[in-house]
Structure 1
Amino acid sequence: MPLAEENTMRNSPREKPCKGKKEKDSFKKISTSTPTNIILSQDESRRELAIMVILHDYPISMVDYIGFRRFVTSLQPAFNMSSQNTLRNDIFKIYESEKAKRYSLLDKLKCRIAITTDMWTSINSKGFMAITGHFIDNS
């Protein structure tokens, strides 16, 4: 058996974890025996969709893709798919929330912040600029 297969077998979810070690599974385990136990939260699902688009840099137009719509409907028929405008608004809400958290963090600092910038152009001539701030907090 190749080494890669051996490692995946050792970490198989069917195996019981070693005594003294906690499972590192961050995903919630959902019981599939009775689907009536699952409650759909439209707001939470919309938020998770927006986070997925942000994290993976998916196009906002993906909510109009028939394949994506069919896939989501197969997972949860009760989910009402957002429009592009609704998804865009959800993304901006997340942005504003994260920005407020960062401002709050920076307001609490009693030290100075070192700021550096970097600019570059991609292969397709698109310009980018990164701004990095370094500081030492109390933790």
Structure 2
Amino acid sequence: MHDLPFNFVDYEGIKRLFIYFYKDVQLVTRNTAKADIIINRYKKEKEMVKSLLDNAPGRISFTSDLWTSLTTDGYMCLTCHFIDNNWTLQKRVLSYTFMPPPHSGLALSTKIHNLLCE
């Protein structure tokens, strides 16, 4: 809410304040708070994208991009493009994922299919 760092919950004064207001409070670490926020945000964004795609009045175009990192790990980004109800071109990244070799047509189509099913 106020762009505070996740380690805000580790400040001794904040811990005392929480305990003062509610003696039985279950304090969490910054890693737990961060994980909860990120997971909830991910689920919310995923549902929003699903809703956008469900309500798209026309076709949806998918593109994928493959590249190799300096450590020779392969990655793939799956993106969709569509026109919304207001005739505005929309673009959403659906997935950014590790793509192990081989990068054959069969491997790529299987990976894309699995990502779209997810």
If the length of structure 1 is used for normalisation, what is the TM-score? 0.43
TM-score by length of 2: 0.49
Q: Which has the higher strand share?
A: 2
